[in-house]
């Protein structure tokens, strides 16, 4: 009957499976391609996207009906669907997970989790109760033996009883009792009734005593706020003192006030409700106005100089068709001004624009510029927005209310109508590469979206990625160059300090060199500002036992714990200070003794930005010091406040991690110090030299952007390395020439295609066995050292062998042909499926930016 009454559609679901699923449409409804639906999947209700309609039902298979159709019209048009399919194909990501990343509308769906008891759980509960009373859980094994329970159940229960505490056993018993009626119970209700924690419920799920189900339904995600509004010309009866106070507050605020503000004045809500009933006050609900925020620029925009005007003319003349450009301009050359002018040109022609920035850290400054230039025509998309704010911005964009979009990598999927221009600022930045499925690169997706939409794409940077530089050299991108800073300002002079010689001359291992201290002091005395790059978080990056050499490592990750508390003057680690893992968030205190040898001699190793801040405060007690890293900047408002203090001059000495190198334009900064940047050269990553060059050049570019010239002091242990020397000379072309020779010899990108395959499991033996299976398959079927088709390196343990309790092995695949690489990876995934290696335990990272 279902087959006669229903049509069928293909739905992409956000699950780690490389396929779509066939469902029957609800009777009387015909979901369109690109619309969202709620689909049953196992015990879950998932939000999927329709990818095809009018399909035939599979033979000999019972098709389940959709729960609901959420959209009357497609949310994803054909261009965005084609882009999503390309991302899924290129990056070998499940289409459903790609489409989920493209639709930041989770606030519009309310998900509810339920639990119900399973048949096995019923048996457990029945065997735990005798004729008169419930036995405690530790007695389950004895009770089952008396009733001749099946041996597997008995063994399972005995092992469970041995592993968990009596309190947890009692809690599990309460959960099973609460679910015994058989009806699914909402998780919040269940936890309230039984005091069960989430880990207890997870343990019951693993033992299959209970099952988890979800329900999903559409909801209104519009943000509203409530106002108390004074009703004019209302007759005032006799009023109490509190009622008079509320009316006086409203009268003082032009007759209306936010309810939240009214509550903060300690005026009772019951009194307000009385005024509402007496028709003296009414409650209005209004949409919340979104504040773009950002830093308002201090100076008015200046006219473009000749090179900027030429760049703008080149970009503007290409609008209306697909044209990729690489905008290569030195730091301070005015690339942002070209971006703004190009967006205005597109807007004048009725075209929309997307501006991508690599991190939220650049958003306040960029948002301020766009707000001044375009006002309410600007929409913002990034991960620091609340789900409701992201949904609101996405809807504004789709309705055409915001033809200018600025955001981080996910903003490339914004549903802008009439897309004409895509700008990728700091296109080299590795933040454009997503480190979770789908592992796309926002820069490369921007190029493909421009191609599909017939739009212009501009990749801008002072230190372009070698991939983009090589593409421009091959003629795939047109290169536009800005070789000078605006207003003919000079690039900063760079001084190299050899820290090996510094140690020989002083006999001390100091964090800051004598030259950096002297020049910082001089800059502060002249009333100027200085930045110090110290690219490590925390106080010290390891705690070491000086007796046995043991490092204090995270219990979940194969990585040293970072110290995050100020040290004593003697440099010794103190008991009770905090250690933290930057991968999983695990924290512990510094122990009194070494866990391995019981020695008391624990010592801090290395220095991070927290220690840098403390040392600078000791050296420059009168300085107004700030710190910018992930510990001081946890949200967009934190960063906005910190940058505002820096722009106003309230901070005159800023120390921080690479966050301070990300395109900030502070005219008062004349000195930049680079400390410990070159440690990355020893990392097992073929991109190490490129990253060091980019970071040094970018942070050096923060100096001398105002009327005064800038200077940079670089502390290094590798003063002869070509990346250091090229950055010192501001010579990108020389670095690119040298680095590309190395890449050509080693068949690394951009002179070859690369993928990193990660095999993961919480069991070491399992991960190793799976890695061996895949490695053997690749070597036997695809490894071709003679013809150079695909080269396979590994399998071997990943540089970080365990993260969050998961063991990691990896294989690196290199190929001259991207088509050959893609075919090899697809063959490997098919073999993994045959070998019953779960897809969720495999990570395929095409064009990997990190090999750790």
Determine what percent of the chain is predicted with pLDDT higher than 90: 49
CA distances to 239, 569, 609 from 603, in Å: 70, 12, 18
Q: How far is the C-alpha of 827 from the C-alpha of 830, rounded, in Å?
A: 5
Mean pLDDT across the stretch 798-822? Answer: 94
Range with the poorest average pLDDT among 560-574, 719-733, 740-754: 560-574
In the predicted structure, residue 88 carries a pLDDT above the cut 70: yes
In the predicted structure, residue 156 carries a pLDDT above the cut 60: no
In the predicted structure, residue 108 carries a pLDDT above the cut 90: no
- As beta bridge partners, residue 225 has 286
In the predicted structure, residue 307 carries a pLDDT above the cut 60: yes
- Give the pLDDT score at 159: 47
In the predicted structure, residue 2 carries a pLDDT above the cut 60: no
Q: How far is the C-alpha of 629 from the C-alpha of 654, rounded, in Å?
A: 11
Each residue's pLDDT tens digit, 224-255: 788 888 888 767 778 888 888 888 888 888 88
Is 468 exposed, middle or buried (CB count within 10 Å of its CB: 0-12, 13-18, 19+)?
A: buried
Q: How far is the C-alpha of 757 from the C-alpha of 825, rounded, in Å?
A: 9
Mean pLDDT across the stretch 683-705? Answer: 91
Mean pLDDT across the stretch 371-378? Answer: 86
Coil, helix or strand at residue 563: strand
Average pLDDT, the chain: 86
Q: How far is the C-alpha of 650 from the C-alpha of 316, rounded, in Å?
A: 40
More confident residue, 754 or 573: 754
Mean pLDDT across the stretch 50-68? Answer: 87
- Taking the mean position of all CA atoms in its chain, how far away is CA 308? 33
Q: How far is the C-alpha of 327 from the C-alpha of 304, rounded, in Å?
A: 15
Structure tokens at 541: 């990056």
Residue 296: pLDDT band with limits 50, 70, 90: low
Q: Enumerate the H helices of 474-561 as residue ranges.
A: 499-506, 514-525
Other beta carbons within 10 angstroms of residue 43's beta carbon come to 12
> Which residues have CB under 8 Å from 148's CB, separation 6+?
none
- Give the pLDDT score at 136: 45
Determine what percent of the chain is predicted with pLDDT higher than 70: 89
Other beta carbons within 10 angstroms of residue 86's beta carbon come to 17
CA dihedral 797, 799, 802, 804 (to 10 degrees): -140
- As beta bridge partners, residue 286 has 225
Each residue's pLDDT tens digit, 432-449: 999 998 999 999 999 999
- Give the pLDDT score at 146: 41
In the predicted structure, residue 841 carries a pLDDT above the cut 70: yes
Each residue's pLDDT tens digit, 609-664: 999 999 999 999 999 999 988 888 876 678 778 888 888 889 999 999 888 887 77
- Give the pLDDT score at 173: 87
pTM higher than the cut 0.75: yes
- Give the pLDDT score at 168: 80
In the predicted structure, residue 571 carries a pLDDT above the cut 60: no
Q: How far is the C-alpha of 677 from the C-alpha of 717, rounded, in Å?
A: 10
In the predicted structure, residue 135 carries a pLDDT above the cut 50: no
Mean pLDDT across the stretch 741-759? Answer: 94
Residue 787: pLDDT band with limits 50, 70, 90: very low
- Give the pLDDT score at 293: 60
83: left (phi over 0), alpha (psi -120 to 50) or beta: alpha
Q: How far is the C-alpha of 88 from the C-alpha of 759, rounded, in Å?
A: 20
Verify cis geometry, omega within 30 degrees of 0, for the bond prior to 438. Answer: yes
Q: Is the dihedral of CA 363, 368, 371, 372 positive or negative?
A: negative
């Amino acid at each position: 009957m279902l087959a006669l009454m229903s049509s069928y559609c293909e739905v992409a679901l956000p699950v780690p499976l490389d396929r779509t699923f066939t469902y029957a449409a609800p009777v009387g409804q015909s979901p369109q391609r690109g619309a969202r639906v709620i689909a049953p999947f196992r015990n879950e209700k998932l939000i999927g996207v329709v990818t095809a309609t009018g399909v035939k039902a599979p033979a000999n298979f019972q098709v389940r009906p959709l729960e609901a159709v959420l959209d009357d019209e497609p949310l994803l048009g054909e261009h965005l669907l084609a882009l999503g399919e390309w991302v899924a194909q290129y990056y070998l990501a499940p289409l459903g997970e790609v489409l989920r990343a493209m639709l930041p509308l989770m606030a519009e769906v309310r998900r509810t989790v339920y639990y119900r008891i399973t048949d096995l759980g019923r048996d457990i509960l029945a065997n735990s109760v005798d004729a008169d009373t419930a036995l405690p859980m530790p007695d389950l094994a004895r009770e089952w033996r008396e009733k001749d329970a099946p041996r597997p159940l008995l063994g399972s229960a005995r092992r469970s009883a041995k592993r968990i505490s009596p309190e947890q056993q009692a809690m599990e018993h309460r959960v099973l009792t609460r679910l015994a009626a058989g009806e699914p119970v909402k998780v919040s209700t269940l936890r309230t009734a039984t005091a069960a924690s989430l880990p207890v419920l997870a343990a019951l799920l693993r033992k299959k005593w209970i099952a988890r189900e979800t329900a999903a339904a559409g909801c209104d995600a519009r943000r509203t706020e409530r106002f108390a509004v004074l009703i004019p010309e209302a007759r005032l009866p006799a009023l109490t003192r509190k009622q008079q106070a509320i009316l006086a507050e409203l009268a003082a605020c032009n007759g209306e006030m936010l309810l939240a503000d009214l509550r903060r004045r300690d005026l009772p809500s019951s009194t307000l409700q009385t005024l509402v009933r007496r028709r003296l006050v009414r409650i209005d609900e209004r949409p919340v106005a979104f504040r773009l925020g950002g830093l308002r620029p201090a100076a008015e925009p200046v006219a473009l100089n000749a090179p900027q005007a030429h760049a703008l003319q080149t970009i503007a003349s290409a609008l209306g068709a697909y044209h990729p450009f690489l905008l290569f301009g030195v730091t301070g050359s005015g690339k942002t001004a070209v971006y703004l002018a190009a967006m205005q040109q597109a807007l004048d022609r009725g075209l929309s624009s997307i501006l991508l920035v690599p991190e939220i850290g650049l958003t306040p400054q960029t948002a301020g510029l766009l707000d001044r230039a375009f006002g309410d025509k600007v929409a913002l998309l990034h991960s620091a927005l609340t789900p409701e704010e992201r949904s609101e911005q996405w809807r504004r964009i789709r309705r055409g209310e915001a033809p200018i979009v600025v955001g981080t990598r996910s903003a490339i999927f914004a549903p802008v109508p009439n897309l004409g221009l895509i700008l990728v600022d700091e296109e080299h930045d590795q933040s454009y590469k997503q480190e979770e499925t789908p592992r796309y690169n926002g820069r490369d997706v921007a190029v493909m979206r421009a191609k599909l939409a017939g739009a212009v794409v501009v990749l801008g940077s002072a230190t372009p990625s070698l991939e983009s530089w090589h593409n421009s050299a091959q003629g795939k991108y047109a290169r536009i160059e800005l070789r000078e800073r605006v207003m003919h300002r000079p690039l900063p002079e760079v001084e190299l300090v050899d820290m090996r010689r510094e140690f020989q001359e002083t006999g001390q291992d100091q964090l800051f060199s004598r030259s950096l201290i002297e020049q910082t002091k001089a800059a502060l005395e002249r009333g100027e500002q200085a930045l110090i790059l110290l690219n490590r978080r925390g106080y010290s990056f390891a705690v070491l036992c000086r007796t046995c050499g043991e490092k204090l490592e995270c219990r979940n990750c194969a990585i040293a714990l970072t110290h995050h508390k100020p040290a004593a003057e003697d440099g010794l680690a103190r008991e009770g200070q905090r250690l933290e893992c930057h991968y999983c968030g695990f924290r512990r205190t510094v122990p009194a003794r070494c866990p391995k040898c019981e020695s008391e001699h624990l010592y801090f190793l290395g220095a991070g930005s927290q220690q840098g801040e403390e040392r600078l405060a000791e050296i420059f007690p009168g300085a107004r010091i700030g710190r910018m890293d992930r510990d001081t900047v946890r949200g967009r408002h934190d960063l906005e406040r910190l940058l505002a203090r820096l722009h106003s001059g309230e901070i005159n000495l800023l120390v921080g991690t690479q966050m301070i190198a990300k395109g900030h334009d502070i005219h008062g900064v004349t000195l930049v110090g680079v400390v410990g940047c070159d440690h990355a050269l020893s990392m097992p990553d073929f991109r190490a030299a490129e990253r060091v060059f980019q970071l040094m050049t970018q942070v050096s570019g923060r100096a001398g952007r105002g009327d005064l010239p800038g200077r940079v002091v670089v502390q290094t242990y590798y003063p002869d390395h070509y990346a250091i020397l090229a950055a010192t000379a501001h010579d990108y072309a020389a670095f690119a020439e040298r680095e590309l020779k190395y890449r050509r010899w080693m068949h690394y990108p951009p002179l070859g295609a690369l993928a990193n395959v990660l095999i993961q499991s919480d069991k070491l033996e399992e991960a190793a066995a799976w890695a061996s299976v895949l490695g053997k398959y690749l070597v036997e079927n695809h490894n071709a050292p003679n013809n150079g088709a695909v080269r396979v390196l590994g399998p071997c343990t990943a540089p970080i062998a365990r993260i969050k309790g998961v063991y990691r092995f990896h294989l690196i695949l290199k190929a001259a042909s991207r088509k050959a690489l893609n075919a090899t990876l697809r063959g490997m995934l098919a073999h993994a499926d045959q070998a019953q290696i779960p897809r969720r335990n495999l990570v395929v990272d095409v064009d990997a930016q990190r090999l750790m």
